[in-house]
A = this chain, B = another copy of it.
Amino acid sequence: MAEFALIESIRTRCAVARDDVRLGIGDDAALLAVPSGWLLAVSTDTFVCGVHFLPDTAASDIGWKALAVNLSDLAAMGAEPAWAMLALTLPSADARWVEGFADGFAELARKHRVALVGGDTTQGPMSITVTIHGFVPPGAALTRAGARVGDGVYVTGTLGDAAAALSKTQSKSACDPQLLERLHRPTPRISQGSILRGRATSCIDVSDGLVADLGHICAASGVGAEIDADTLPASPALIAAFAAADRRAFQLASGDDYELCFTAPDAIATGLLRDLADSGCAAMRIGRIVAGADVQVRDANGSPLALPRSGWEHFA
């Protein structure tokens, strides 16, 4: 498969029509129209084989997840997705791999009407960089910086599933397909981000681990946080697969769930939680914002718990 055929294969499979794409794949740059009065939200994430996914991961799952982790960043800002750029570095251009990758990418792209508008294909060690673009009204974006003392801390969906699936895979144990789905095909919480927009005081997606990611909110907002460990939402599949101590470690310190962690004042919590539940992805209160600078985790008696390793860091 030559470079041109590879690009054509991806372009054809990822076709999503949007009026705001004035010039798509095939020139020196894409030409795009941002809606008047909206801000552009841009994020980029790289996916390296052996670091972000195991070498034997299905190509379609890699395609899905490379887009999902980027869409999750837009969800955390409350942005509406629009366009993606794809930089694909591959050791060889295997047609079946490329088609599988493009099919997985396209399946998620169609759900959110994301048009693939450009990119680059190069030969080298496998690595995928997606740059995602979306729109958000000025003043309504969710950032990490607005949490206030007294706000509740919430998380959408459940935590720990992806780490549980990775643990089972690495130990070559049987794994519940629902957990594997959460690892390989995470659902970016785009609708929930839109519901939170202009209402939550801060938001982040849980990609590195709850304590680490909530720590980013605390640092940006100049506050501390307390998490009630026994309130962390767990899926039935996770509860069936792991005992409480393992579950808690996955939920606090492992990333890759791509749920939203957000803060909101009590006065608006009821309405917000009802709207989220109506969207098909409920959120749970897991703690509160306090004065200070750290994230503390407490047991059912309110006693502090020692924290496990606090999230993924490259070059650690």
Q: Which residues of A contact B (CB under 8 A)?
A: 1-4, 6, 22-23, 26-34, 36, 39-46, 48-52, 73-74, 76-77, 79, 83, 85, 87, 89-90, 92-93, 117-125, 127, 129, 131-134, 136, 138, 141, 143-145, 203-205, 220, 313-316
Contact = CB atoms under 8 A, between A and B. Distances in A.
Contact of A31 (B23, B73, B77): B77
Contact of A133 (B1, B42, B77, B138): B42
A22 B123 contact: no
A113 to B, nearest CB: 17
A125 to B, nearest CB: 4
Contact of A34 (B40, B51, B120, B314): B40
Contacts of A28: 43, 73-74, 76-77, 144, 203-205
Most central of A83, A85, A120 by chain B CB within 10 Å:
A120
Contact of A314 (B46, B49, B123): B123
6 contacts: A23-B141, A29-B76, A42-B83, A48-B125, A85-B131, A93-B315
- List the 7 shortest-distance A-B pairs measured between CB atoms, nearest first: A48-B124, A93-B315, A125-B125, A29-B43, A28-B76, A129-B129, A131-B131
Given A27-B143, A29-B43, 11 more contacts: A28-B76, A32-B42, A33-B138, A34-B34, A36-B36, A42-B117, A46-B129, A48-B123, A122-B314, A124-B125, A124-B127
A121 to B, nearest CB: 6
A131 B314 CA distance: 22
A251 to B, nearest CB: 21
Contact of A44 (B2, B40, B74, B119): B119
A122 B85 contact: no
A21 to B, nearest CB: 10
